[in-house]
């Protein structure tokens, strides 16, 4: 039975993928157990990467309708080079070795130069750290510059693979361009992560099956799905929150499709579902992000997900990792 499910998933049998996404109750528990077992027997075993995020700027070229960043008279901010290095030092001094640098999309060359300088300085100070960038769509030469500065990984989610829905949710971009950026990142030599959002307005189950298939078209090191959260600062503020079961099933199927990828158990799972993030760890996820990198006084201006977003501190993350029977590591790849 287990082999049959694994085969159907890896053969990208769309009818079966559709069926598995809708599993609930006992069948869902079996799907989860299978995903957990595949994670545990992957090269990662029971290890979980514990990383920190620094949200360095909320200035953004895009106007994604699900995102509240830089909208409604927000105070715009951008950390200076020195401030970024200071934040990295604080994180490194508490032992963190994987640092996610995230921001709105800002293609100005000055911004990219500054981040490149920060990456090379940080890696000079701490040669054993891993830097993950999540900065949106940039020119291929800018990706190359960032890669040359030593940053090892980049996350660029396609968000939804449906071209029409993509345009609706991300009016300043196209799916074609977003996918080209993902491929450029891979060609540049980054370890790349991508994925989608589950529960976007008008998104169908067919779209979600297609998204699963789309993740297999790239050579990925990381893959992720967040549950859609109606952000009060965004145009989708009145839309329905994403379905937790669908998101969990999607993540479990991702694990079966990508045994050797890092998959985060995101804070989006926790909103409205106590223990959602721990559940993520028990269905095959193996990455947790600590929200201790962004200066406290700026956090309120960085509106992704939700303003009452759950931003777990280190101890909470360590507790749920231990409760799930797993072991926190500085990095896994």
Q: Which residues bind ligand SAH (CB under 6 A)?
A: 66-67, 102, 104-105, 134, 136, 156-157, 159, 197, 226, 228-229, 231, 268, 304-305
Query: If you compute the radius of gyration of the chain from its CA atoms, what whole number of angstroms results?
Result: 19
Q: How many CB atoms lie within 10 A of CB 34?
A: 23
Output the six-digit token pair for 186: 């891979």
Kindly tell me which of 20 and 154 has the beta carbon lying closer to ligand SAH.
154
Question: How does DSSP classify residue 299?
Answer: G
Who contacts 25 (Cβ-Cβ below 8 Å, separation ≥6)?
Answer: none
SS3 172: coil
d(CA 44, CA 267): 21
Nearest CB to ligand SAH, comparing residues 220 and 229: 229
Per the structure block, which two tokens stand in for 106? Answer: 């800002």
Burial class for 271, CB neighbours closer than 10 Å (0-12, 13-18, 19+): buried
Nearer to ligand SAH, 186 or 326 (CB): 186
CB nearer ligand SAH, residue 134 or residue 333: 134
**DSSP string of 148-191?**
HTT--EEE---B---HHHHHHH-TT--HHHHHHHHHHHHHHT-E
Q: Minimum CB separation from ligand SAH for residue 62, in Å?
A: 6
Instruction: Name the minimum Å distance from CB 135 to ligand SAH.
Output: 6
Please report how close the Cβ of residue 187 comes to ligand SAH at its closest, in angstroms.
18
CB of 303 to ligand SAH, least distance (A): 8
Closest approach, Cβ 156 to ligand SAH, in A, equals 5
Select 104 or 312, whichever has its Cβ closest to ligand SAH.
104
- In the complex, least distance from residue 47 CB atom to ligand SAH, rounded to whole angstroms: 24
Alpha-carbon distance of 264 to 85, in angstroms, equals 25
By beta-carbon proximity to ligand SAH, the closer residue of 21 and 223 is 223
């Amino acid at each position: 039975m287990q082999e049959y499910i694994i085969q159907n998933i890896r053969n990208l049998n769309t009818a079966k993928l559709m069926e598995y996404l809708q599993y609930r109750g006992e069948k869902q528990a079996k799907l989860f157990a299978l995903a957990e077992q595949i994670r545990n027997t992957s090269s990662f075993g029971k290890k979980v990467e514990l990383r920190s995020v620094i949200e360095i700027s909320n200035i953004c070229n895009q106007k994604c309708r699900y995102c509240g960043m830089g909208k409604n008279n927000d105070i715009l901010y951008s950390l200076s080079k020195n401030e970024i290095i200071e934040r990295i030092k604080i994180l490194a001094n508490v032992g963190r070795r994987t640092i996610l640098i995230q921001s709105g999309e800002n293609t100005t060359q000055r911004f990219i130069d500054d981040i490149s300088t920060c990456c090379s300085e940080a890696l000079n100070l701490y040669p054993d750290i891993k830097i993950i960038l999540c900065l949106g769509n940039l020119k291929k030469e800018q990706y190359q510059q960032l890669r040359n500065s030593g940053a090892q990984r980049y996350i660029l989610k396609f968000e939804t693979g449906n071209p029409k829905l993509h345009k609706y949710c991300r009016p300043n971009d196209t799916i074609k361009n977003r996918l080209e950026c993902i491929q450029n990142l891979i060609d540049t030599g980054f370890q790349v992560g991508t994925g989608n959002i589950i529960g976007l307005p008008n998104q169908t189950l067919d779209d979600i099956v297609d998204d699963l298939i789309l993740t297999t078209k790239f050579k990925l090191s990381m893959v992720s799905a967040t549950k859609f959260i109606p952000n009060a600062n965004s145009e989708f503020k009145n839309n329905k929150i994403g379905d937790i079961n669908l998101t969990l099933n999607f993540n479990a199927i991702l694990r079966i499709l990508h045994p050797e990828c890092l998959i985060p158990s995101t804070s989006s799972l926790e909103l409205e579902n106590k223990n959602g993030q721990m559940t993520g760890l028990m269905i095959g996820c193996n990455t947790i992000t600590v929200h201790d990198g962004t200066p406290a006084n700026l956090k309120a201006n960085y509106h992704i997900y939700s303003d009452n977003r759950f931003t777990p501190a280190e101890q909470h993350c360590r507790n749920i990792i231990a409760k799930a029977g797993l072991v926190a590591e500085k990095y896994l790849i």
